[in-house]
C-alpha cells in the first residue's frame, strides 16, 4: 500500500497503525501511460454526468530496497494467463478504502468477496469498456463494493493469481 504522497509503501500487514509490516521508501513511481483523470472537481449532477472517474489509475513503485518475500506474510502474486475469465468466477481483493462515500481511509484492511460479471451486464455502465476492463460485483450475502482508497488493490482469483486492479466503482461502498 502506497502512503504519504507516494514516498513510502507499507507491506506485510493488515493494519496501518500497529507497527507491524515492513516499510520501504519509494525510489521512483511509474504512472501508466494511458492514465487520465476525470473531472473530480465537477459536481456530476450539475453537468448531467453519472459519475466522474479516472482511467488506468494505478502505478508501479520502484523501491529503494527489496521486500522480504517469504511466501507467507509477503509473496509475489502470479499473473493471470487467461484472456477470458468465466462469468461467476469467485475473486476478491483487500484494501484500506473507506466504508462509505466521503469517509476516511481505514487503518484495518478489509477484504471483498466478488464475482466476475458478463460484458453484457456491465455494458450498461457508461464508463465500462470490455476491451480493457473486467467487471466484478459483490457476492451474497454481503454484496461487497470498493470505495475511495481501494484503487490499486490487486484483484485475485481463488488460487491467488492476479487478474486485475481495482479502479472505479459504481455505487461506492454498497
pLDDT-derived band of residue 101, with 50, 70 and 90 as boundaries? confident
From the centroid of its chain, how far is CA 88?
A: 19
User: CB under 8 Å to 122, separation ≥6 — which residues?
Assistant: 128, 130, 133, 135
Instruction: Quote the cell numbers at residue 45.
Output: 449532477
pTM of the entire predicted model:
0.77
Instruction: Quote the cell numbers at residue 59.
Output: 502505478
Instruction: Quote the cell numbers at residue 92.
Output: 476478491
Q: Tell the residue number behind the cell numbers 470498493, with chain if given.
A: 146
pLDDT-derived band of residue 171, with 50, 70 and 90 as boundaries? low
Give one word for 59, left, alpha or beta, with left for phi > 0 and alpha for psi -120 to 50. beta
In order of their start, the domains of the chain are 2-63 (no CATH), 90-165 (2.40.10.10)
Q: Is 112 exposed, middle or buried (0-12, 13-18, 19+ CB in 10 A)?
A: buried
| DSSP label of 107 | S
pLDDT at 71: 84
Residues 50-84 have pLDDT tens digits of: 555 667 777 888 999 999 998 888 888 999 998 88
Amino acid at each position: 500500500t502506497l502512503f504519504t504522497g507516494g514516498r513510502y509503501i507499507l507491506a506485510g500487514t493488515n493494519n496501518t497503525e500497529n507497527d507491524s509490516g515492513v516499510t520501504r521508501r519509494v525510489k521512483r513511481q511509474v504512472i501508466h501511460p494511458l492514465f487520465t483523470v476525470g473531472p473530480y472537481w465537477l459536481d456530476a449532477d450539475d453537468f448531467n454526468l453519472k459519475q466522474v472517474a479516472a482511467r488506468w489509475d494505478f502505478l508501479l513503485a520502484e523501491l529503494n530496497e527489496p521486500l522480504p518475500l517469504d511466501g507467507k506474510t509477503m509473496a509475489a502474486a502470479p499473473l493471470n494467463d487467461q484472456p477470458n475469465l468465466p462469468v461467476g468466477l469467485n475473486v476478491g481483493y483487500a484494501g484500506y478504502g473507506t466504508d462509505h462515500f466521503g469517509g476516511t481511509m481505514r487503518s484495518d484492511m478489509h477484504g471483498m468477496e466478488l464475482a466476475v460479471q458478463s460484458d453484457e451486464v456491465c455494458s450498461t455502465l457508461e464508463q465500462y469498456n470490455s476491451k480493457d476492463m473486467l467487471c466484478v460485483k459483490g457476492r451474497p450475502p454481503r454484496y461487497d463494493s470498493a470505495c475511495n482508497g481501494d484503487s490499486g488493490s490487486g484483484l485475485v482469483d481463488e488460487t491467488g493469481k492476479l487478474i486485475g486492479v481495482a479502479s472505479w466503482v459504481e455505487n461506492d461502498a454498497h
